[in-house]
Amino acid sequence: MTTMPRGRHIVEFLASRPEFVGVGKATAQRLWERFGLDFYAILGDGDVHRLSELLDRNQAAIVVEAWRNQQALADCVVFFDEQGIELNVARKAVAFWGDEAVLKMKDNPYRLLTVCTWPQVDRVATALGVSGGDPRRLVAAVESILYDRLDRKHTWCGGSVLVGLVARRLCVSEEDALTAVELAVSDGAAIPIDGGFQPAGAAYMERFIEARIDAHVRRTVGHDLFLDGICSEDVASFLARFDPSRSLTNEQCDAVGMALQNAFSLLIGGAGVGKTTTLRAINAGARHFGMNVYQLAIAGRAAGRIAEATGKPAQTVASWLKGVADGRIELGRHTLVVVDECCFPRRTEPVRRIISIEN
């Protein structure tokens, strides 16, 4: 572990907090160089006299009072300094937990994985005396791998793959890695599904979305008067007029029918397979059958691309949701909502909010 120079935290703390009026980095550094480790006790004891050796007495009194008022954060500074914890990790911990940072770190330093990398957190944990076989470390290793994969757009990891990755991360046998995975499952950090595992956050989000879609589909199956009024013959008749040259493939025509005749559809395909062409046909068909079409994308640039490709308006999910909340957008059976790239793992929250809307 790279040990941080002693006193660096307290110098940064004093120089960066506006409460310590008149103390910049140079002054804070001089105070540390003058008093060394005694500086903590001088501040803690409120020893204005000692501080006055370098500071104006009034300024020394201000520093003492500010230290007292910032006691909880000051304790964090002292703790991180004493443990030699990297400055950027300490800053994130304080920003994340405030005056509870020391308590949280001592209880389980691997909580920092939400804001730091595995190597960073593992070094901190080692400095705090966490052993290599500590259950907290084993569970955290599994969880960190699942979230590393989530960052690469994998919401699921096969069991054998996960065990192998855990073995490499912890430098242990696959048998010991399997034990770590079992601990993570017991802890709720890894959710088993279909012979593999998901991180808890992704699993809960996906199960929620699945349940909402299932409920929506069940509610409309067999008794949706609007959709039931659009039969396959009507779709074929529309497509014959829309595409007289028959440039659409059979699969694209089926996709148009799917979108117009079902309460929920997924249009999936790689780049260049004709999704945009199909979307243009879906747009035209929906409007032909009297639907209000809303084309949505997570980012404004993506919304612009959809609008340009289809020749119809598009907007961001955020602006559309605001319109729904404000009552400016009317929803119902006659509404078709198209969401571009809704399957990206890091973009599921806006989609979850859309699916949460009734009707």
By CB atoms closer than 10 A (0-12, 13-18, 19+), residue 324 is middle
Give the CATH H-level superfamily of domain 203-356: P-loop containing nucleotide triphosphate hydrolases (3.40.50.300)
The single residue listed with the structure tokens 């396959």 is 232
Domain ranges of the chain: 8-108, 135-202, 203-356
The pLDDT assigned to 16 comes to 84
Q: From the first residue on, what is the mean pLDDT of each consecutive set of 10 residues in the chain (359 residues)?
A: 57 86 90 90 91 92 87 75 73 79 88 87 90 97 96 93 98 98 97 96 88 82 64 93 92 95 88 89 93 91 91 92 88 86 58 61
Q: What is the DSSP string of 174-242?
A: HHHHHHHHHHHHHHTSEEEETTEEEEHHHHHHHHHHHHHHHHHHHHHTTT-HHHHT--HHHHHHHHHHH
Predicted TM-score (pTM) of the model is: 0.69
Q: What CATH number has the domain spanning 135-202? A: 1.10.10
Side chain identity at residue 354, one-letter code: I
The pLDDT assigned to 355 comes to 62
Q: Which residues contact 243 (CB under 8 A, 6 or more apart)?
A: 281
The pLDDT assigned to 122 comes to 93
The pLDDT assigned to 3 comes to 39
